[in-house]
Amino acid sequence: MLNVGTARLKAGKNEEIRDLLQAAEQSIQQAKGITQQLLTFTRGGEPVKTSMALQPMIKESVKFTLHGSKAKSRFDLPDDLWPVEIDPGQINQVINNLALNAVQAMSRGGHLTVTARNVTIEEGDQRTTALQPGNYVEVAIKDEGVGIPPENIDSIFDPYYTTREKGTGLGLFSVYSIIERHGGWITVESEVDLGTTFTFYLPAAADEEAAAISSEIKEGSGRVLVMDDDDTICLGLKALLGELGYEVETTANGEEAIERYGEALKSDQPFDAVIMDLTVPGGMGGAEAIGHLKELDPRVRAVVSSGYSTDPIMANYQEYGFEAVLMKPFQLADLSRAMDLVLG
């Protein structure tokens, strides 16, 4: 997912670095994706929403899921699509789950077509009674797979309903819960042997212009201290922040981060910002470390990162002294946006 944005920034630069970034991003995605899926439906997963454009996320997410399969993707995503008010980690999971199901239904290959358009639901609209009147973005994901028999169609969103030998039956259940929590709606149409189309609606963001600007990738400068117990994330963040123009040092826990921040503060090269993981198993996490950093430097600019979108700190990050949140798995655009919030 990151590689698309990175390639855009790097056009003409080192190909080896590009591959490394892609590998780093994939392991972040795999490790955090599963954890997040489990947490989202087990803990109620209140979305941490931000307004953003859907097109880049849809493309990157679908391409990522289709990679190595026989299915081919097609996109019809208009440029003037309204930005949406979403939790990027959760909606990314929705798209991944739907694309994965489509791939599994098309083991012999076929096309996965993703179209999106702006839709206004009026009072008394016949299309759905499930949606409040207002502006929505409609996304349709259409496959040419085996289809779903009519007698099964009412069960597919049920938890643990699966027809696959190794299935969990939780994919569509979490899709449904996430869309519902976003004030959206999802529906399905299918014909055996012809294919299936899932269509979902997400509320459009109120402030269209602000959202369009915030989805861009911006370069910056300054020194950033990263704290995460996961080496892969540290390496990935270092590479990506480097791409954006920042100088980076990494630490593995809160104690180390406080020590390095303090040392640097006394030197002529203090840190301009910190990005800290919310929780660190067996060590001090960002939630606690931020208090100590504030004592050292009341003007500290901090981003909290986490795969646990359900943690109340992620929804109320400002009360804890953080200036921005970064949900794992994240994309280059998310990182750019967070950095722009703290240093822009």
Ligand X SMILES: Nc1ncnc2c1ncn2[C@@H]1O[C@H](COP(=O)(O)OP(=O)(O)O)[C@@H](O)[C@H]1O
110 binds ligand X (CB under 6 A): no
Looking at the Cβ atoms of 168 and 279, the one nearer to ligand X is 168
Interaction of residue 171 with Mg ion, rule CB under 5 A: yes
Could you tell which of ligand X, Mg ion, none binds residue 146, using a CB distance below 5 to 8 A set by kind? ligand X
The site string for ligand X over 67-106 (x = CB under 6 A, - otherwise) reads ------------------------------x---xx--x-
Query: Of these partners, ligand X, Mg ion, none, which one is at the site of residue 48 (CB under 5 to 8 Å by kind)?
Result: none
- Residue 105 contact, options Mg ion, ligand X, none, Cβ 5-8 Å cut-off depending on partner type: ligand X
Find the part of the chain contacting ligand X (CB under 6 A) among 6-14, 37-45, 63-71, 161-169.
Answer: 161-169
- Cβ proximity to Mg ion: between 61 and 101 the closer is 101
Side chain identity at 298, as an amino acid letter? Answer: P
Question: Which residue, 90 or 196, has its beta carbon nearer to ligand X?
Answer: 196
- Shortest reach from residue 317's CB to ligand X, in Å: 31
Query: Which residues would be at the binding site for ligand X (CB under 6 A)?
Result: 97, 101-102, 105, 143, 145-148, 156, 161-164, 167-173, 196
Query: Which residues would be at the binding site for Mg ion (CB under 5 A)?
Result: 101, 171
